[in-house]
């Protein structure tokens, strides 16, 4: 998404790489310190979003409300992101990127501090809504920021590093935060996140380059970005893929019950998290040359897992194997879809990313609603088949988006 008129972070030169056809290409070292700062921002964002789920009983007792009401802290966060990500990103297209990123991070400092000290549930709800607002802005910035820091042929690897904070937060951060909340209190846990975010602000200021926003004559409206070739395909695949994941992931506990594995949910989620981390590593190595193929393989693997769980979901060995493959298929999804979006949108990548963020959050909410309806009507046996219904057309759309959206790498077209 980097243009010739946009400055890019300078990386230390490395020896030229020579391809089989005799041509040479100078490989630049990735700006690891800056990309890890973006990964830390993603880590804090995911942790802020999901931590109340792990601290539900303690927050309920301390705030004097039911666990169901405390669960709405996650809902308000998602609503804040849904309703503001696109308009807020569009409105700030002209802002310089580093000050805008720092503003979003400082927003997390404020809302997590308010959450830590508030004794009023309504005030806490308000803080969570604005946490979602800052999250929507940050998610729209991170992928585009990573892409602008490197040459085009390294954008996929750069985004894989920037996105590693997501599976780390899910597999390690949330269990650690839940344990810390039990040991020292949930308020201290949110306070620690505020302190970490202040440190991150300094890290961003020192290690991240600044980039200009888009000038008035180069800004694109939301409609024009939506109509860019490939954007609609990427958005559809993102929405359907993440929706299918959340139908099952949200209700994994009742799904495990027929196999007698309800008490092993922590082990099941650990298996998922470990293989999701493996997925991030694999995708980071391959994405710049095999983006299209990785999207197709990930979707196809999730289709196969859905069939296996639908046919043999009561067999523990099949469940564990299926969850492992599920982690491999899903772990790098954010990197794949955001990279595809950034490449399709070019200079309008930040606005396109806000659309990805919105589609992602619709899928999270939709997965909870659709899964709940299925649970109350057809039961958990229907979950895998709903995934098949969602994923088969997803695979077809990704396959058909060969020219725009999910094209093969330049050397293999």
Average the pLDDT over 227-238 and give the result.
95
**160 and 305 inside one domain:** no
Predicted pLDDT at 216: 58
Does residue 403 fall inside a structural domain?
Answer: yes
**179 and 119 inside one domain:** yes
Give exposure, 185-204, as e/b (b: 16+ Cβ within 10 Å).
Answer: ebbebbbebbebbeebbebb
Domain range for 38 is: 28-218
**57 and 179 inside one domain:** yes
**291 and 191 inside one domain:** no
**218, 235, 265 — which closes off a domain?**
218
**280 and 343 inside one domain:** yes
**224 and 127 inside one domain:** no
Which residue, 122, 113, 119, 132, is CA-closest to 49?
A: 132
User: Which range among 111-125, 151-165, 213-227 shows the weakest confidence by mean pLDDT?
Assistant: 213-227
- The total number of structural domains in the chain stands at 2
Residue-averaged pLDDT of the chain: 85
Predicted pLDDT at 304: 97
**343 and 319 inside one domain:** yes
Tell me if 248 sits within 8 A of 384, measured CB to CB.
Answer: yes
**301 and 378 inside one domain:** yes
DSSP designation for 30: P
265-283 pLDDT, tens digit each: 778 878 888 898 889 889 8
316-357 pLDDT, tens digit each: 999 999 999 999 999 889 889 988 998 898 878 778 888 998
Q: Report the CATH number that the domain containing residue 298 is assigned in CATH.
A: 1.20.1250.20
C-alpha to C-alpha distance for 349 and 140, rounded to whole angstroms = 8
Q: What is the pTM of this model?
A: 0.76
Give exposure, 212-251, as e/b (b: 16+ Cβ within 10 Å).
Answer: ebbeeeebbebeebbebebbbbbbbbbbbbbbbbbbbbbb
DSSP designation for 405: T
**168, 188, 218 — which closes off a domain?**
218
With a pLDDT cut of 70, the percent of the chain lying above it is: 91
Sequence-ordered list of residues with C-beta below 8 angstroms from that of 45, at least 6 positions apart, any chain: 108, 135, 138, 139, 165
**183 and 237 inside one domain:** no
Dihedral-angle region of residue 249 (phi above 0 means left; psi in -120 to 50 means alpha; beta otherwise): alpha
* Helix 265-312 with 316-330: angle, nearest 10 deg: 100
**Beta-carbon count within 10 A of 256 CB:** 21
């Amino acid at each position: 998404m980097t243009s010739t008129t946009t400055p890019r972070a300078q990386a230390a030169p490395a020896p030229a790489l020579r391809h089989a056809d005799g041509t040479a290409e100078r490989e630049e070292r990735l700006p690891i310190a800056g990309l890890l700062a973006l990964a830390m921002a993603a880590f804090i964002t995911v942790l802020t979003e999901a931590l109340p789920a792990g601290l539900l009983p303690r927050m309920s007792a301390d705030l004097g409300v039911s666990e169901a009401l405390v669960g709405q802290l996650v809902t308000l966060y998602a609503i804040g992101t849904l309703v503001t990500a696109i308009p807020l990103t569009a409105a700030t297209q002209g802002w310089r990127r580093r000050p805008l990123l720092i503003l979003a991070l400082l927003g997390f400092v404020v809302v997590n501090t308010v959450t830590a000290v508030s004794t009023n549930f309504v005030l806490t709800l308000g803080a969570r809504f604005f946490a979602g607002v800052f999250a929507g802005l940050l998610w729209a910035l991170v992928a585009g920021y990573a892409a602008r820091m490197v040459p085009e042929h390294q954008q996929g690897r750069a985004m894989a590093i920037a996105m590693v904070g997501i599976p780390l937060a899910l597999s390690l951060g949330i269990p650690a935060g839940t344990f810390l909340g039990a040991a020292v209190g949930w308020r201290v846990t949110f306070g620690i996140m505020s302190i970490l975010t202040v440190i991150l602000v300094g890290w961003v200021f020192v290690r991240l380059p600044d980039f200009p926003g888009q000038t008035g004559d180069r800004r694109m409206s939301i409609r024009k970005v939506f109509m860019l070739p490939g954007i609609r395909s990427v958005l559809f695949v993102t929405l359907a893929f993440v929706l299918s994941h959340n139908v099952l992931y949200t209700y994994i506990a009742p799904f495990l019950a027929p196999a007698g594995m309800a008490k092993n949910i922590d082990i099941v989620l650990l298996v998922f998290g470990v293989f999701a981390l493996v997925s991030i590593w694999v995708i980071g190595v391959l994405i710049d040359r095999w983006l299209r193929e990785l999207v197709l393989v990930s979707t196809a693997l999730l289709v196969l897992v859905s069939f296996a769980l639908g046919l043999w979901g009561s067999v523990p060995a099949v469940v564990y194997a299926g969850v492992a493959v599920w982690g491999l298929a899903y772990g790098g999804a954010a990197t794949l879809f955001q990279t595809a979006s950034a490449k399709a949108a070019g200079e309008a990548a930040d606005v396109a990313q806000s659309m990805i963020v919105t589609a992602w959050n619709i899928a999270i909410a939709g997965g909870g609603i659709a899964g709940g309806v299925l649970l109350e009507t057809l039961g958990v046996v229907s979950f895998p088949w709903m995934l098949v219904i969602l994923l088969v057309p997803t695979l077809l759309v990704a396959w058909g988006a060969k020219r725009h959206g999910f094209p093969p790498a330049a050397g293999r077209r």
